[in-house]
Amino acid sequence: MKTRRLLIASFVFLAAGVGLFFGYCNGTAGFSAGYPMSGTSLKLDITTTGYPALSGLLLTLIGSLLLVICVIAAVVAEIRSPGSKAKSEKLPDVA
């Protein structure tokens, strides 16, 4: 199974979902550095309401599911038995 199409589809769905979340959000971001390092903090307040929130969540979930399927398909394609590849790559006999 070729996983390129699944990978492209998962990227498109994830990008669209995250784009909707951040494109229609209202919020703030803050970063403060402190000494010692445990005093450093990053705060993100993101609020997305309405249809972009619903469709963004749905697209992100579909993209994540496609990405998991793509990874499983790639692993299965890599661990196939060596005999099946050797048979398919065998050259035909020439008389």
What are the angstrom distances between the C-alpha of 29 and each of 25, 39, 43? 12, 17, 6
What whole-number distance in Å separates Cα of residue 78 and Cα of residue 64?
21
Residues 17 and 52 sit within 8 Å (Cβ to Cβ): no
pTM (whole model) above 0.95 = no
- Encode pLDDT of 22-68 as tens digits: 899 898 889 999 888 888 998 988 888 999 999 999 999 999 999 99
Model confidence at 81: pLDDT above 70:
no
